[in-house]
Structure 1
């Protein structure tokens, strides 16, 4: 499945090099992918490859993201990182020790601002029941996080923001797509399946964008730095979830492009998008993340995908020059 500079592989098969092309082989035969213009490969099913292929991909500057059966991100292979800065890594670590709260506050406020913008659309279209939550996001959340100096308490506030967001879905989503609570591993109903799949793809996209900066992927501020994960990608992707993942979900569900009986596989204790459902969601997701808008400060056109990288640069400015870090705002488009 081809979308812009990204190729999605959704079936079982193998990847090999053939001259200067990528060959994907499955039971239907060979599919040839010219290497020019490809930046990312998403392997959403069981795919075999060898070190010779990885060397070929590395020299071409292509990143490969791997996902497991449940649609969760498993790992990334990317070329040897060229943009390495020991000085910035030290500054990033110092900021974690000394200024973590400031950055965490900014991210949570950014989440609240963007959720507010998404829900305000429904409020304007006769969903007046959303007013109390909108007021809470706009007035109370900034006050709550401004006076909070404990990271555990900040994370509780962030969790409450998402919890109330999920509760608001009953005002504008059909009953077949509602849920009682957020269940991740594995998702237990269609809406949880969509959220988990969308968040996983966005996380991988964010990894690729941070790769293009000098930032260290393992040093984060809102999420606790942990073993075996790129926690900074979790941080920078948060404010984009309402804009990209949830906008995609709301459009597909409310316009009946995704339907429970057609696009999901249900088992005893989990629910997953089927192949047709994944292709529909990926197409919508890519349309959203590559949507072009005029950046008011840069005075040029850009995309939400590039805005993720720009947030990385904002963080660098904060770390190196102490310039205010303010994540992307859908309201201001910066």
Structure 2
């Protein structure tokens, strides 16, 4: 079974028959013990260290449909090597473009992404409100529910993005109440994040984005044609749309769990001129937690069987495809637990 592989050390990667050979290299240029990754076991590659590779390797990865996602020293996502889209279909491309070009159809889908995100945010807040009964959480729930009620009547994308931004701002204002005294949010900051919580959010959001991007690649959807976020010349904006729905469930719940269980401590971070960054050991723990969460299963109400969180993302893509083709109305994923 294909699984994502994470490369934290700097090194050199090459092809050896039908196997990937990774040789770690330290700062002095000394080579370590090579690791061999059978190609049939590799889903995506996540590269957090310096990777030395040639075009022959990328040709091989492209033939096998393996994406490579790159992160810089500060855990910022910098880009992806994406194989040629092998499932793209003409009719889907035409219908996806038509829905983007139609203001009415685009705003309808964009509203649904915001509704899905807001409902999943509320699910997270209500879980912690039921446990702690904190006034900040109760007030935030009321505010977000009020903002959510305005979404169906929002008439343009900038206004909708403003509403979504207000929902997020209200939500992030609750983080201090949820994590207690371990960390302090002190407002949302990014590029660079100025403290530990912001560093966790930024890093977790990029992992969610790349997971959504990889899932879209294995469908007929075009990742560059989006509805909530404006398509850009240099980004896969549909993955940003999809990530909005899943960030509260995949990222924020993981942050709260790891912080409240003391699996992440202030000593796991360091402040630099470029902002706050996680130390390597903490980054590995967080990535492992995210990967384990994607593999975790829940009993799906409609399907009547257990599915993984990763498969929930794929189901979301399938639902969007059916909507674009006029087969079934898209209803965003809303957590029920």
TM bucket (normalised to shorter chain) is: over 0.9
> Is 1:11–1:26's contact at 8 Å kept on the other side of the alignment?
yes
Shift of 1:111: 0.9
User: Which residue of 2 is the match for residue 151 of structure 1?
Assistant: 157
User: Which residue of 1 is the match for residue 278 of structure 2?
Assistant: 273
Change over 3 Å in CA distance of 1:208–1:125 after alignment to 2:
same
Could you tell me which of 302, 309, 328 is aligned with 2:333?
A: 328
User: Which residue of 2 is the match for residue 133 of structure 1?
Assistant: 140
> Is 1:109–1:141's contact at 8 Å kept on the other side of the alignment?
no
User: Is 2:21 the counterpart of 1:23?
Assistant: yes
> Is 2:144–2:170's contact at 8 Å kept on the other side of the alignment?
no
User: Is 2:49 the counterpart of 1:51?
Assistant: no
> Is 2:226–2:238's contact at 8 Å kept on the other side of the alignment?
yes
User: Which residue of 1 is the match for residue 29 of structure 2?
Assistant: none
> Is 2:7–2:46's contact at 8 Å kept on the other side of the alignment?
yes
Residue 230 of structure 2: SS of its match in structure 1?
coil
4+ runs deviating over 6 angstroms:
none
Shift of 1:167: 0.4
Q: Distance in 2 between matches of 1:65 and 1:24?
A: 16
The range that moved more, 142-151 or 209-218, is 142-151
User: Which residue of 2 is the match for residue 88 of structure 1?
Assistant: 92
> Is 1:13–1:26's contact at 8 Å kept on the other side of the alignment?
yes
Residue 62 of structure 2: SS of its match in structure 1?
helix
Shift of 1:37: 1.6
When normalised by structure 2's length, the TM-score is 0.93
> Is 2:319–2:331's contact at 8 Å kept on the other side of the alignment?
yes
> Is 1:127–1:172's contact at 8 Å kept on the other side of the alignment?
no
Q: Distance in 2 between matches of 1:315 and 1:45?
A: 35
Give the alignment's Cα RMSD to 1 decimal.
1.6
Could you tell me which of 9, 12, 25 is aligned with 1:11?
A: 9
> Is 1:63–1:79's contact at 8 Å kept on the other side of the alignment?
yes
> Is 1:5–1:40's contact at 8 Å kept on the other side of the alignment?
yes
CA deviation string 1:128-187 (max 9, x = no partner): 41222223333x233211111021111011001110111011212133422222111111
Q: Distance in 2 between matches of 1:96 and 1:59?
A: 31
CA deviation string 1:185-212 (max 9, x = no partner): 1111111111111111111111110011
